[in-house]
Structure 1
Amino acid sequence: MITIGQLARYVGVSAKTIRVYHNKGLLPEPPRDASGYRRYDAGHAIDLVKIRTLAEAGVPLARIRELRAATEEEFQETLTRLDADLTERIAALQATQERLRRLAHGRLLALPAEVRAHLDQLPRLGFSERWVELQTDLWILVYATQPGTASALFHEQAQMLTDPVLREMFLDYDHAHDLDPHDPRIDALARRAVQATRARYGTGDLPGQDTGTEIPAMIQAAVNASSPAWQRIDALIREQLGLR
């Protein structure tokens, strides 16, 4: 028979936690001895280990109390589901760890090799250093927040740059950064972008727009914030395409 302090040390929890488990009806509270101390036996220690393990796996205390009264079959089914959930969480954490390790060796390493190669060729195509830095930051954001669709979006844009007409339009967009927002070239560039968009996608949804998140809007806001000219181009394009 051991005290609550000894039980806490043996199992690796605090005495306060054990008292919480008592109050929640998870762990039977033993009677006090003649000295006024509660004495715990091996059964209490085993129960406490089970409760601690379930709690560490993320099971709410109310659910743990229900499991205490569950049949063996129900208990095993719950453990199987918990095991699957933990496996999924571990895989997600490992993926996050890998991204952190890549970032530790340079931010470009957070991107796939094909994206880094694409960014490396942009200066040779005539794009400014400012454009390359912006594209790098935006692709890092896309791959970090939309891993399921990032690759398709990247291939879509990379393929567009193989078209001389579209590439020239993107170059003009890049070089419009420092223009006055009301320069006539801004309106002409917006019209070209709208025509190219309609020719490529028709009246359907545009790639990367319908993601169910605020990420596309955040990306466009980041682009617009760096240039009043770009902001006006975006406003004109959205107005002519009927976008929100």
Structure 2
Amino acid sequence: MADGLTIGQAAAFVGVTIKTVRHYHRLGLVAEPDRDVSSYRRYRSGDLFRLVQVRTLAAAGVPLGEIGDLLDADPETFAATLDGVHHQLTERIEDLIARRDRLHRLDHGDRALLPDRACAVLDRFTELGSSPDYVTGQREALVLVRALVPEIFDSFVARLEHSLDDPESVELTKRGWQAGDWDPDDPRIEELAAELADKLLANRALLVMPEGFSDQSDAASRYGIVNHHREAPAIARLNTLVEANLRAAGVIVPGR
């Protein structure tokens, strides 16, 4: 299977048309990905995350001509621009009220893309002292799960909540942050992968995939994009080993 998704798959997963994706490219809102050896453009997690951001803002009523600058703006400019759009929407007719309310949530950052329960998880990562890059990666992963694999979103959040309530899981998670700076061949990665898998297996109910999900032809692609988003080389090996340990224990993990 080729690495990444075609434009048709990316559009379907994000919930827009191919024509819309191409329109975003023409406007410069989303960069066109590189072509593979077969001359197909392949969309990866970063491309899909940007598509979700643009689609969400457009659906909330932000003019397409303002979205590019808005996504790259500082927080103050972001909020000020949203205030202006909010006032425009409130002057429209009754059937735009729903859009106005959705736009109002955008000044709360993550809550524009995620439900409060997921935002609470991100807040807890910050409270634990996670680096901003790690929290950003977790936020993007949650957004991608919700957009691409909605079938497992609730269980994904539940697994994060459970790990944050368990001191041993928290310590393993912190070691996982540190592993990002290790050499991919560091023998500690195998040890950490085994410990992480054992901890996950202690609550197998949280690992169960929805019935029929793994039988879908695109399940591995969707799951892989989320699970391997923004991986450093050492983290890629760590995740691969964790998945292998889970499969060896009989857990169904979508894969190539």
Counterparts of 2:198 and 2:133, CA distance in 1: 26
Query: 1:126 touches 1:171 (CA, 8 Å); kept in 2?
Result: no
CA gap of 1:172–1:240, structure 2 versus 1, over 3 A, is same
Deviation at 1:216, TM superposition (A): 1.4
Specify the alignment match of 1:233 in structure 2.
238
Match of 1:122, SS?
Answer: helix
Specify the alignment match of 1:136 in structure 2.
139
Write the mapping of 1:123-162 to structure 2, written as runs, cut at 5 A: 123-147=126-150, 149-162=152-165
Q: Kindly indicate whether structure 1 or structure 2 has the higher relative contact order, using CA contacts under 8 Å at least 6 residues apart.
A: 2
Query: 2:121 touches 2:160 (CA, 8 Å); kept in 1?
Result: no
Deviation at 1:219, TM superposition (A): 1.0
Counterparts of 2:234 and 2:165, CA distance in 1: 25
CA gap of 1:117–1:199, structure 2 versus 1, over 3 A, is closer
Gaps of 5+ in 2: 1-95, 248-252
Specify the alignment match of 1:68 in structure 2.
none
Specify the alignment match of 2:65 in structure 1.
none
Query: 2:163 touches 2:170 (CA, 8 Å); kept in 1?
Result: yes
1:117 aligns with 2:120: yes
Write the mapping of 1:135-214 to structure 2, written as runs, cut at 5 A: 135-147=138-150, 149-201=152-204, 205=208, 210=213, 212=216, 213=219, 214=221
Deviation at 1:103, TM superposition (A): 7.8
Give the aligned CA root-mean-square deviation in angstroms.
Answer: 3.5
CA gap of 1:127–1:206, structure 2 versus 1, over 3 A, is farther
Q: Deviations over 1:21-43 (max 9, x none)?
A: xxxxxxxxxxxxxxxxxxxxxxx
CA gap of 1:205–1:106, structure 2 versus 1, over 3 A, is same
Gaps of 5+ in 1: 1-93
TM-score by length of 2: 0.49
Specify the alignment match of 1:32 in structure 2.
none
Report how many residues are paired.
150
Identity within the alignment, %: 24
Deviation at 1:163, TM superposition (A): 0.5
Query: 2:149 touches 2:223 (CA, 8 Å); kept in 1?
Result: no
Counterpart code for 2:117: E
Deviation at 1:160, TM superposition (A): 1.9
Counterparts of 2:103 and 2:167, CA distance in 1: 38
Counterpart code for 2:246: L
Bigger Rg, which one: 1
Counterparts of 1:162 and 1:178, CA distance in 2: 26
TM-score by length of 1: 0.51
